[in-house]
A and B are shown apart, each in its own frame.
Chain A
């Protein structure tokens, strides 16, 4: 048997003792088997004293518990040895097998007492304990159990309602307001003002302040790159708002800035992309003109 660290054996014995409700020491001895020199002196040769004690019918027990008889025998010897008691008489043992067992045992005892290993009886397969691994090391995932709910019906119901609400909103809007359609495209007649689609009006607004290179290329280019790299720039692991004041402020500046520029370009710019007040000069915003009219 490979050398098992004492503390592992002990832990395993304790677990087994707890499970079976037996004393730890007894199980420990059983596990160490013949290797353990702990048994009292008179116990070592007990194997051939097949006398005394209440007799046990091993064949009957084997049938009853479904345990092979040789194993029962072995356990009986081991326990007897550990306890230092005599092995109870075995009733119903086939004569030659009993003889074989006892002679083998006595020979072994004679040669190598007190620590002579006894091999398994014929026909019994043994298993070696290679290592003991704490259950947590293999199976533990380290995640705490989470408060979860079934997707059906909880999430799907909400999604469905959101979908219906959006569909209703769009259908109603579309029933009452037509999409704009101006005159046929005319290359010779540029409307004044000419505005980009609304989501680019923030950029067009920037064109009013900066050189086209800056407003049209550098700012949007770096803007998108900065957005895309946010996760690699912001190395702060916390998601609590209190820990992210700087990141949140920065993004809020971006969000408000983009919104203000877009609204400005949409509603406050008139002919020649000059500044107008929508409430006095009118709205020059064709994307929504059918809605606003």
Chain B
């Protein structure tokens, strides 16, 4: 619309352009039919199905779920939140990797630099650390809610076992990350933790040696745990998560209602 002077206002120009964009071939090639992002979308049962079915989301969610399953009080969203925290930890972790060197003493200095030299460095580090603690909690509580719902009973037995593997991997991810700041807290907490492994019957020494890459914690341990933390364990946990989510659907969606 033109204002009194015959000029087009900024607001009108922007809405007009957005309208064109939403009708363009480029836009429609990105958002498949049924998507609420499309200009030709309307709210109908069919389109509601298409939102999921025509979307990469279909890898995670079916079109419909049992009514009790969407009640917040059933899952408390704990599994979903565990997954979200994993994504968040991946994003913040990649950010941290740009500024971190897994060697001594640089590792420690890099942690200090995050607080002083790098924009949002401390914030991202905080989110990564608190997020990791919270994830251990949500995963554990998720297991608890699954137990109380008896959701491990046939046909879901194996998914419970996969879940236990996920729990162990979550703990290992958290524990390997614990060493990386290379401060007193990291060094001695990990010392106490890995000393427990030395009590493994028969193979105690070998287990410790493999774990910390020597007979005591050194900068070599730092590199070893770094690789486990940023590459190996995430890789493994993603595979198990894929199996976990796949099984939730193949086992007939959520269990219950009670």
B19 at the interface (CB under 8 A from A): no
A208 at the interface (CB under 8 A from B): no
Interface string of B35-52 (1 = CB under 8 A from A): 000000000010011011
A197 touches B193 (CB 8 A): yes
Given A185-B183, A197-B175, A217-B199: A150 in contact with B48 (beta carbons within 8 A): yes
B150 at the interface (CB under 8 A from A): yes
| A97 smallest CB distance to B (angstroms) | 53
B183 touches A184 (CB 8 A): yes
A241 touches B66 (CB 8 A): no
Contact partners of A204 in chain B: CB under 8 A: 192, 196
Given A178-B115, A179-B130, A224-B168: A212 in contact with B84 (beta carbons within 8 A): no
A151 touches B63 (CB 8 A): yes
Residue on A with the closest CB to B112?
A181
B16 at the interface (CB under 8 A from A): no
Contact partners of A224 in chain B: CB under 8 A: 164, 168
A51 at the interface (CB under 8 A from B): no
Contact partners of A230 in chain B: CB under 8 A: 147, 152, 160
A167, A182, A248 interface centre (most CB from chain B within 10 Å) = A182
| B166 smallest CB distance to A (angstroms) | 11
Contact partners of B154 in chain A: CB under 8 A: 231, 237
Kindly state the separation between the CA atoms of A17 and B23 in the bound complex, as whole angstroms: 56
What range describes how many residues of A lie at the interface? Answer: 35 or more
Contact partners of B201 in chain A: CB under 8 A: 213, 217
A93 at the interface (CB under 8 A from B): no
Residue on B with the closest CB to A229?
B161
In-complex Cβ contact of A147 among B51, B66, B130 (8 A): B66
Contact partners of A241 in chain B: CB under 8 A: 148, 258
A173 touches B130 (CB 8 A): yes
B131 at the interface (CB under 8 A from A): yes
Kindly state the separation between the CA atoms of A152 and B45 in the bound complex, as whole angstroms: 10
B171 at the interface (CB under 8 A from A): yes
Kindly state the separation between the CA atoms of A98 and B112 in the bound complex, as whole angstroms: 106
Given A147-B66, A239-B149: A162 in contact with B77 (beta carbons within 8 A): yes
Task: Pick the interface stretch among B5-13, B121-129, B226-234.
Answer: B121-129
Given A158-B70, A159-B77, A212-B199: A227 in contact with B164 (beta carbons within 8 A): yes
A231 touches B161 (CB 8 A): yes
Contact partners of A150 in chain B: CB under 8 A: 45, 48-49, 52, 63-64
B256 at the interface (CB under 8 A from A): yes
In-complex Cβ contact of A217 among B148, B182, B200 (8 A): B200
B45, B64, B111 interface centre (most CB from chain A within 10 Å) = B64
A231 touches B152 (CB 8 A): yes
Residue on A with the closest CB to B35?
A152
Kindly state the separation between the CA atoms of A186 and B148 in the bound complex, as whole angstroms: 45
A251 touches B84 (CB 8 A): no
Contact partners of A7 in chain B: CB under 8 A: none
Kindly state the separation between the CA atoms of A171 and B258 in the bound complex, as whole angstroms: 36
B156 touches A231 (CB 8 A): yes
Contact partners of A227 in chain B: CB under 8 A: 164
A107 at the interface (CB under 8 A from B): no
Kindly state the separation between the CA atoms of A228 and B196 in the bound complex, as whole angstroms: 21
Residue on B with the closest CB to A192?
B188
A47 at the interface (CB under 8 A from B): no
| A180 smallest CB distance to B (angstroms) | 6
Residue on B with the closest CB to A213?
B199
8 A Cβ contacts from A52-80 to B: none
In-complex Cβ contact of B127 among A171, A217, A240, A248 (8 A): A171
Given A212-B199, A231-B156: A181 in contact with B111 (beta carbons within 8 A): yes
A275 at the interface (CB under 8 A from B): no
Contact partners of B80 in chain A: CB under 8 A: 159, 162-163
8 A Cβ contacts from B128-174 to A: 128-131, 133-134, 136, 144, 147-154, 156-158, 160-161, 164, 168, 171, 174
B150 touches A239 (CB 8 A): yes
B185 at the interface (CB under 8 A from A): yes
What would 4 more interface pairs be, CB under 8 Å, given A166-B134, A196-B189? A159-B80, A162-B72, A181-B181, A190-B188
| 9 intermolecular pairs with C-beta atoms under 8 Å apart | A148-B66, A149-B66, A166-B85, A166-B134, A173-B130, A213-B201, A224-B164, A239-B150, A239-B255
Residues of A within 8 A of B (CB): 146-156, 158-159, 162-163, 166-167, 170-171, 173-175, 177-187, 189-191, 194-200, 203-204, 207, 212-213, 216-217, 224, 227-228, 230-232, 234, 236-241, 244, 247-248, 251, 255, 286-287
| The 6 A-B residue pairs with the shortest CB-CB distance in the complex, in nearest-first order | A174-B126, A239-B150, A231-B157, A179-B129, A152-B51, A185-B187
